[in-house]
Amino acid sequence: MKKIIYPKSLKKGDKIAIISPAGAVEALQLEKGIEMIRNKGYEPVLGEHLYSSFSKGYNYAGTEEQRIQDINWALNDNEIAAVWASRGGYGCQHLLESIDLKNFSENPKWYIGYSDNTVIQSYLLKKRYSSIHGQTVKTSGFGVTEESYELIFDILEGKIPDYSLESHRFNKTGSCQGQLVGGNLALIYALLGTDYSFKFKDRILFIEDIGENFYGLDRMMMSLELAGIFKKIKGLIIGGMTNMGNEKENTAYNESFDDFAYQLISDRISKYDFPTVFGFPNGHIKDNRPLIIGGNIIMEVKDKIKIKFEN
């Protein structure tokens, strides 16, 4: 496995680009996040099309050309020290064939986001660059804990997180070590069979999702099963499963860690013996603690769960 590149740590005064690579966003939704970046001593620099809107079956943050322009500017401008997505939604797949890393490769920088941004993070990892699967700049919606953001700034400043969790009844005990891949399950599923898909052999896979019907969740898990992914991975981490099913099917409609969704996942992987963690605090949830995609982790699943990133 080729060595993965961690971008250099930020220093106070550095510029952080804020872009909208997928869904449209309004200025009011980013006010708190932008002010937080400024209060931390960094300079937020807004993409030209950050607040653009283009409707074509979905309300995108501008045309494909506009979003491509913004992501390539942010990734390659040598004055930018990190790139932070405003939100997810849908649309990042449009950009994959046009991403340019010419200057980025000489000056790698952290890319921060989750949800639809999973495809950008898969792209970067194919090029050997790690990224932060963490909260976007948008703070509205289900709310975000202060710690969720503090831990992102810790990573930006070179402090790598370790996590300790309580046990979950669906967990599978054991220990493993490997590179962390994954993110939003719907996007992992959407990239299967493409040149942009994650590699899974000897990796530890993380998944989270929101708003999927239970049969849709099972369909995606079956696709991973039929693709042989569960035979390849060393371990599995399951984060938030939020607003799954519908109100008639799901009595826990607004819970972050949907019990029935977890039951479906547990049943689907029951024949495998890799260590498995349910209930990791990352995803479309209030307590959204960052993970480093491409980072090497040591995972111990016992009465207590420990997940340690190696520098």
For each of the domains in the chain, give its residue range(s) and CATH number, in order of start: 15-156 (3.40.50.10740), 162-310 (3.50.30.60)
pLDDT score for 253 = 39
State the Cα–Cα distance between residues 210 and 37, nearest whole angstrom.
Answer: 27
Q: Which of 62-66, 153-157, 252-256, 262-266 has the lowest mean pLDDT?
A: 252-256
Angle between helices 214-226 and 259-268 (to 10 degrees): 20
pLDDT score for 258 = 87
Average pLDDT, the chain: 95
pLDDT score for 2 = 75
pLDDT score for 1 = 66
Residues whose CB falls within 8 Å of the CB of residue 36, separated by 6 or more in sequence, listed in order: 149
Q: Does the pLDDT value for residue 249 go beyond 60?
A: no
pLDDT score for 142 = 67
Backbone angles phi, psi at 91, to 5 degrees: 140, -15
The residue among 179, 213, 218, 184 whose CA lies nearest residue 199 is: 179
Q: Does the pLDDT value for residue 300 go beyond 80?
A: yes
pLDDT score for 113 = 98
**Average pLDDT, integer, range 153-166:** 96
CA atoms within 13 A on the CB side of 76: 11
Contact 206, 237 (CB under 8 A): yes
**Average pLDDT, integer, range 254-283:** 92
Residues whose CB falls within 8 Å of the CB of residue 216, separated by 6 or more in sequence, listed in order: none
Q: Does the pLDDT value for residue 255 go beyond 60?
A: no
**Average pLDDT, integer, range 255-262:** 85
Q: Does the pLDDT value for residue 62 go beyond 50?
A: yes
pLDDT classification of 139: cutoffs 50, 70, 90: confident
pLDDT score for 143 = 78
Q: Does the pLDDT value for residue 89 go beyond 70?
A: yes
pLDDT score for 247 = 45
pLDDT above 70 covers what percent of the chain? 95
Q: Which of 41-50, 72-81, 251-260, 283-292 has the lowest mean pLDDT?
A: 251-260
| Tens of pLDDT, residues 95-122 | 999 999 999 999 999 999 999 999 999 9
- 305, containing H or E segment: strand 304-310
| Tens of pLDDT, residues 194-205 | 999 999 999 999
**pTM of this structure:** 0.95
Contact 40, 61 (CB under 8 A): no
- The count of other CB atoms within 10 Å of the CB of residue 252 is 15
pLDDT score for 257 = 82
